A = this chain, B = another copy of it.
Amino acid sequence: MTGPSADPAEAPLATIAIVGLGLIGGSIALAARRRWPAVRIVAVDRADVVAEATARQVVDEASVDLTAVGGADLIVLAAPVGANPGLLSAIPHLVSGPALVTDTGGTKRSIMAAASGLPGRLTFIGGHPMAGGTGGGLGAARCDLFDGRPWLLTPAHGDEPAVGPLAAFVEGLGARAIVTEAATHDRVLAYVSHLPQMTASALMSVVGGRVGEEGLAWAGGGLADTTRLAASEAAIWRDVALANRDHLGEALDDLITALQALRRDLGSGSGIDRLFGSARAWRETLRRQGQSSPGEGTR
Protein backbone atom coordinates (compact mmCIF):
# COMPACT_ATOMS: atom_id res chain seq x y z
CA MET A 1 0.00 0.00 0.00
CA THR A 2 1.38 3.42 -0.95
CA GLY A 3 0.71 6.60 1.00
CA PRO A 4 -1.37 9.50 -0.35
CA SER A 5 0.34 10.96 -3.37
CA ALA A 6 1.24 14.59 -4.03
CA ASP A 7 -0.05 14.11 -7.58
CA PRO A 8 -3.86 14.32 -7.33
CA ALA A 9 -4.28 12.09 -10.39
CA GLU A 10 -2.34 9.24 -8.78
CA ALA A 11 -4.31 6.85 -6.58
CA PRO A 12 -3.23 6.40 -2.95
CA LEU A 13 -4.08 2.71 -3.43
CA ALA A 14 -3.45 0.46 -6.44
CA THR A 15 -6.38 -1.96 -6.12
CA ILE A 16 -9.60 -1.52 -4.19
CA ALA A 17 -12.23 -4.17 -3.58
CA ILE A 18 -15.85 -3.25 -2.85
CA VAL A 19 -18.12 -5.84 -1.26
CA GLY A 20 -21.73 -4.84 -1.94
CA LEU A 21 -22.33 -2.78 -5.08
CA GLY A 22 -25.51 -0.91 -4.13
CA LEU A 23 -26.04 2.86 -3.94
CA ILE A 24 -23.02 3.42 -1.68
CA GLY A 25 -20.67 0.74 -3.05
CA GLY A 26 -21.57 1.62 -6.64
CA SER A 27 -21.05 5.34 -6.00
CA ILE A 28 -17.64 4.60 -4.43
CA ALA A 29 -16.67 2.73 -7.62
CA LEU A 30 -17.87 5.57 -9.86
CA ALA A 31 -16.26 8.31 -7.73
CA ALA A 32 -12.95 6.39 -7.52
CA ARG A 33 -12.93 5.91 -11.30
CA ARG A 34 -13.67 9.63 -11.79
CA ARG A 35 -10.71 10.66 -9.64
CA TRP A 36 -8.20 7.90 -10.41
CA PRO A 37 -8.80 6.46 -13.90
CA ALA A 38 -5.97 3.95 -13.44
CA VAL A 39 -7.01 2.42 -10.10
CA ARG A 40 -8.10 -1.22 -10.33
CA ILE A 41 -11.57 -1.77 -8.89
CA VAL A 42 -12.89 -5.22 -8.00
CA ALA A 43 -16.44 -5.79 -6.72
CA VAL A 44 -18.35 -8.67 -5.13
CA ASP A 45 -22.14 -8.96 -5.08
CA ARG A 46 -25.04 -11.21 -6.12
CA ALA A 47 -25.13 -12.60 -9.68
CA ASP A 48 -27.72 -10.07 -10.95
CA VAL A 49 -25.71 -7.13 -9.63
CA VAL A 50 -22.50 -8.60 -11.05
CA ALA A 51 -24.20 -8.85 -14.45
CA GLU A 52 -25.37 -5.23 -14.28
CA ALA A 53 -21.94 -3.98 -13.14
CA THR A 54 -20.23 -5.92 -15.92
CA ALA A 55 -22.65 -4.65 -18.57
CA ARG A 56 -22.21 -1.04 -17.43
CA GLN A 57 -18.42 -1.44 -16.97
CA VAL A 58 -18.69 0.09 -13.51
CA VAL A 59 -15.68 -1.91 -12.25
CA ASP A 60 -12.70 -3.79 -13.70
CA GLU A 61 -13.81 -7.12 -12.29
CA ALA A 62 -17.11 -8.17 -10.73
CA SER A 63 -17.61 -11.53 -9.05
CA VAL A 64 -20.05 -13.44 -6.87
CA ASP A 65 -17.03 -14.99 -5.12
CA LEU A 66 -15.60 -13.22 -2.08
CA THR A 67 -12.12 -14.58 -2.89
CA ALA A 68 -11.93 -11.81 -5.52
CA VAL A 69 -10.94 -9.38 -2.71
CA GLY A 70 -7.65 -11.29 -2.24
CA GLY A 71 -5.21 -8.90 -3.92
CA ALA A 72 -6.66 -5.57 -2.81
CA ASP A 73 -4.85 -2.83 -0.83
CA LEU A 74 -8.21 -1.53 0.40
CA ILE A 75 -11.33 -3.59 1.03
CA VAL A 76 -14.59 -1.65 1.46
CA LEU A 77 -17.49 -3.51 3.05
CA ALA A 78 -20.56 -1.77 1.64
CA ALA A 79 -23.11 -4.50 2.35
CA PRO A 80 -26.05 -3.92 4.77
CA VAL A 81 -24.97 -3.31 8.39
CA GLY A 82 -26.16 -6.75 9.46
CA ALA A 83 -24.06 -8.58 6.84
CA ASN A 84 -20.72 -6.82 7.39
CA PRO A 85 -19.53 -8.68 10.55
CA GLY A 86 -19.86 -12.04 8.78
CA LEU A 87 -17.99 -10.73 5.75
CA LEU A 88 -15.29 -9.29 8.00
CA SER A 89 -14.69 -12.65 9.69
CA ALA A 90 -14.10 -14.28 6.28
CA ILE A 91 -11.47 -11.79 5.08
CA PRO A 92 -8.41 -13.12 7.02
CA HIS A 93 -8.84 -16.43 5.20
CA LEU A 94 -8.88 -14.72 1.79
CA VAL A 95 -6.24 -12.02 2.14
CA SER A 96 -2.67 -13.11 2.83
CA GLY A 97 -0.84 -9.77 2.65
CA PRO A 98 -1.33 -6.49 4.49
CA ALA A 99 -4.49 -4.55 3.66
CA LEU A 100 -6.65 -1.73 4.91
CA VAL A 101 -10.28 -2.70 5.55
CA THR A 102 -13.20 -0.32 6.07
CA ASP A 103 -16.98 -0.37 5.97
CA THR A 104 -19.79 2.10 5.23
CA GLY A 105 -22.37 1.12 7.86
CA GLY A 106 -24.53 3.58 9.80
CA THR A 107 -23.40 2.33 13.24
CA LYS A 108 -19.83 1.75 14.31
CA ARG A 109 -19.50 0.08 17.75
CA SER A 110 -20.59 -3.38 16.64
CA ILE A 111 -18.35 -3.54 13.56
CA MET A 112 -15.38 -2.20 15.58
CA ALA A 113 -15.93 -4.99 18.11
CA ALA A 114 -16.07 -7.56 15.30
CA ALA A 115 -12.85 -6.13 13.83
CA SER A 116 -10.89 -6.41 17.08
CA GLY A 117 -10.14 -10.06 16.32
CA LEU A 118 -8.47 -9.43 12.95
CA PRO A 119 -4.82 -10.46 12.51
CA GLY A 120 -2.22 -7.69 12.72
CA ARG A 121 -1.60 -7.49 8.96
CA LEU A 122 -5.18 -6.23 8.48
CA THR A 123 -6.04 -2.75 9.73
CA PHE A 124 -9.74 -2.03 10.12
CA ILE A 125 -10.95 1.58 10.27
CA GLY A 126 -14.69 2.10 10.47
CA GLY A 127 -16.21 4.41 7.85
CA HIS A 128 -19.57 6.10 7.38
CA PRO A 129 -20.29 8.38 4.43
CA MET A 130 -23.08 10.85 5.29
CA ALA A 131 -24.65 10.59 1.88
CA GLY A 132 -27.32 8.48 0.38
CA GLY A 133 -30.83 8.62 -0.84
CA THR A 134 -34.11 6.89 -0.43
CA GLY A 135 -33.62 5.08 -3.74
CA GLY A 136 -31.14 2.21 -3.40
CA GLY A 137 -29.24 -0.14 -5.65
CA LEU A 138 -26.52 0.17 -8.25
CA GLY A 139 -28.95 1.91 -10.60
CA ALA A 140 -29.10 4.89 -8.21
CA ALA A 141 -25.29 5.15 -7.81
CA ARG A 142 -23.66 8.44 -8.82
CA CYS A 143 -20.03 9.56 -9.06
CA ASP A 144 -20.87 12.82 -7.21
CA LEU A 145 -22.82 11.26 -4.33
CA PHE A 146 -20.13 12.13 -1.75
CA ASP A 147 -19.15 15.58 -3.00
CA GLY A 148 -18.90 17.89 -0.01
CA ARG A 149 -20.49 15.36 2.37
CA PRO A 150 -18.95 14.32 5.71
CA TRP A 151 -17.35 10.86 5.79
CA LEU A 152 -16.79 9.76 9.38
CA LEU A 153 -13.76 7.55 10.10
CA THR A 154 -13.43 5.60 13.37
CA PRO A 155 -9.99 4.02 13.97
CA ALA A 156 -9.51 1.72 16.97
CA HIS A 157 -7.19 3.03 19.69
CA GLY A 158 -3.65 2.76 18.32
CA ASP A 159 -4.71 2.67 14.66
CA GLU A 160 -4.91 6.46 14.27
CA PRO A 161 -1.68 6.64 12.16
CA ALA A 162 -3.28 4.36 9.56
CA VAL A 163 -6.11 6.83 8.97
CA GLY A 164 -4.07 8.94 6.51
CA PRO A 165 -4.41 6.79 3.38
CA LEU A 166 -8.11 6.15 4.02
CA ALA A 167 -8.76 9.85 4.61
CA ALA A 168 -6.95 10.64 1.34
CA PHE A 169 -9.10 8.04 -0.39
CA VAL A 170 -12.48 9.36 0.80
CA GLU A 171 -11.41 12.95 0.10
CA GLY A 172 -10.50 11.81 -3.40
CA LEU A 173 -14.10 10.59 -3.70
CA GLY A 174 -15.18 14.18 -2.93
CA ALA A 175 -16.05 13.78 0.78
CA ARG A 176 -14.83 15.62 3.89
CA ALA A 177 -12.98 13.14 6.17
CA ILE A 178 -13.80 13.50 9.89
CA VAL A 179 -12.04 11.28 12.45
CA THR A 180 -13.89 10.35 15.66
CA GLU A 181 -14.44 7.46 18.07
CA ALA A 182 -16.99 4.76 17.37
CA ALA A 183 -18.88 5.46 20.61
CA THR A 184 -19.13 9.18 19.84
CA HIS A 185 -20.20 8.38 16.28
CA ASP A 186 -23.04 6.17 17.46
CA ARG A 187 -24.32 8.64 20.05
CA VAL A 188 -24.29 11.63 17.67
CA LEU A 189 -25.70 9.66 14.74
CA ALA A 190 -28.60 8.47 16.89
CA TYR A 191 -29.64 12.14 16.99
CA VAL A 192 -28.63 13.56 13.60
CA SER A 193 -29.57 10.55 11.47
CA HIS A 194 -31.44 7.69 13.15
CA LEU A 195 -33.94 9.82 15.12
CA PRO A 196 -34.93 11.94 12.06
CA GLN A 197 -35.50 8.71 10.11
CA MET A 198 -37.71 7.18 12.82
CA THR A 199 -39.56 10.47 13.25
CA ALA A 200 -40.27 10.89 9.54
CA SER A 201 -41.58 7.33 9.27
CA ALA A 202 -43.73 7.58 12.42
CA LEU A 203 -45.16 10.94 11.28
CA MET A 204 -46.00 9.67 7.79
CA SER A 205 -47.63 6.52 9.16
CA VAL A 206 -49.75 8.48 11.66
CA VAL A 207 -50.80 11.22 9.23
CA GLY A 208 -51.62 8.84 6.37
CA GLY A 209 -53.53 6.51 8.68
CA ARG A 210 -55.65 9.36 10.09
CA VAL A 211 -56.47 11.45 7.00
CA GLY A 212 -56.13 8.97 4.13
CA GLU A 213 -55.46 9.72 0.48
CA GLU A 214 -58.04 12.53 0.34
CA GLY A 215 -56.53 14.36 3.30
CA LEU A 216 -53.00 13.99 1.95
CA ALA A 217 -54.12 15.89 -1.16
CA TRP A 218 -54.59 18.96 1.06
CA ALA A 219 -51.02 18.96 2.29
CA GLY A 220 -48.57 21.75 1.57
CA GLY A 221 -44.87 21.27 0.89
CA GLY A 222 -44.10 21.11 4.61
CA LEU A 223 -45.46 17.58 5.06
CA ALA A 224 -43.54 16.41 1.97
CA ASP A 225 -40.23 17.75 3.32
CA THR A 226 -40.77 16.48 6.84
CA THR A 227 -41.58 12.97 5.61
CA ARG A 228 -39.11 12.60 2.72
CA LEU A 229 -37.12 10.01 4.69
CA ALA A 230 -40.26 7.90 5.14
CA ALA A 231 -39.57 6.44 1.69
CA SER A 232 -36.60 4.56 3.19
CA GLU A 233 -36.60 0.78 3.32
CA ALA A 234 -37.13 -1.02 6.62
CA ALA A 235 -34.36 -3.59 6.03
CA ILE A 236 -31.48 -1.11 6.41
CA TRP A 237 -33.00 0.62 9.42
CA ARG A 238 -33.89 -2.56 11.29
CA ASP A 239 -30.16 -3.38 11.46
CA VAL A 240 -29.21 0.17 12.45
CA ALA A 241 -31.85 0.37 15.18
CA LEU A 242 -30.79 -2.98 16.60
CA ALA A 243 -27.08 -2.09 16.63
CA ASN A 244 -27.68 1.35 18.15
CA ARG A 245 -30.76 0.66 20.25
CA ASP A 246 -29.34 2.16 23.47
CA HIS A 247 -28.59 5.59 22.01
CA LEU A 248 -31.60 5.58 19.69
CA GLY A 249 -33.83 4.65 22.62
CA GLU A 250 -32.54 7.67 24.55
CA ALA A 251 -33.04 9.91 21.53
CA LEU A 252 -36.63 8.69 21.10
CA ASP A 253 -37.26 9.29 24.82
CA ASP A 254 -35.97 12.87 24.43
CA LEU A 255 -38.27 13.55 21.50
CA ILE A 256 -41.27 11.95 23.23
CA THR A 257 -40.62 14.13 26.30
CA ALA A 258 -40.43 17.28 24.14
CA LEU A 259 -43.69 16.41 22.36
CA GLN A 260 -45.43 15.67 25.67
CA ALA A 261 -44.34 19.05 27.05
CA LEU A 262 -45.58 20.78 23.91
CA ARG A 263 -48.90 18.95 24.15
CA ARG A 264 -49.40 20.07 27.77
CA ASP A 265 -48.76 23.73 26.89
CA LEU A 266 -50.87 24.04 23.71
CA GLY A 267 -53.34 26.30 25.46
CA SER A 268 -50.83 28.69 26.97
CA GLY A 269 -48.46 29.33 24.07
CA SER A 270 -45.42 29.55 26.36
CA GLY A 271 -44.31 26.02 25.46
CA ILE A 272 -44.45 26.86 21.75
CA ASP A 273 -42.47 30.08 22.27
CA ARG A 274 -39.74 28.19 24.13
CA LEU A 275 -39.54 25.25 21.74
CA PHE A 276 -39.70 27.30 18.53
CA GLY A 277 -37.09 29.73 19.84
CA SER A 278 -34.64 26.91 20.45
CA ALA A 279 -35.55 25.12 17.20
CA ARG A 280 -35.12 28.23 15.03
CA ALA A 281 -31.68 28.94 16.49
CA TRP A 282 -30.45 25.37 15.87
CA ARG A 283 -31.98 25.33 12.39
CA GLU A 284 -30.08 28.50 11.57
CA THR A 285 -26.86 26.81 12.77
CA LEU A 286 -27.58 23.85 10.49
CA ARG A 287 -28.31 26.18 7.57
CA ARG A 288 -25.07 28.13 8.07
CA GLN A 289 -23.17 24.85 7.90
CA GLY A 290 -24.51 24.34 4.40
CA GLN A 291 -26.76 21.43 5.32
CA SER A 292 -29.74 23.15 3.73
CA SER A 293 -32.42 21.19 1.95
CA PRO A 294 -32.86 21.75 -1.79
CA GLY A 295 -35.92 24.00 -1.44
CA GLU A 296 -34.51 26.05 1.43
CA GLY A 297 -36.05 29.51 1.56
CA THR A 298 -38.05 29.11 -1.61
CA ARG A 299 -41.27 27.73 -0.17
Contact = CB atoms under 8 A, between A and B. Distances in A.
Contact of A269 (B241, B252, B259): B241
A255 interface: yes
A266 B249 contact: yes
A223 interface: yes
B286 A219 contact: yes
Contacts of A231: 280, 283-284, 287
Interface in A31-77: none
Contact of A255 (B203, B238, B299): B203
B294 A294 contact: yes
Contact of A225 (B195, B228, B258, B279): B228
A273 B192 contact: no
Interface in A208-242: 208-211, 213, 215-234, 237-238, 241-242
Determine the interface band of chain A, counting residues with CB < 8 A from chain B: 35 or more
Contacts of A254: 206, 210
Please report whether the interface of chain A is mostly helix, strand, loop or mixed according to DSSP.
helix
Interface stretch (A1-9, A10-18, A116-124, A128-136): A128-136
Given A232-B276, A249-B263, A252-B259, 20 more contacts: A130-B220, A150-B219, A188-B211, A192-B218, A193-B219, A204-B286, A220-B291, A221-B293, A224-B287, A224-B293, A225-B293, A227-B279, A231-B284, A231-B287, A234-B272, A234-B275, A234-B276, A237-B276, A241-B269, A255-B259
Interface of A: 130-135, 149-150, 152, 178, 188-189, 191-193, 195-211, 213, 215-234, 237-238, 241-242, 245, 248-249, 251-256, 258-260, 262-263, 266-267, 269, 272-273, 275-287, 289, 291-299
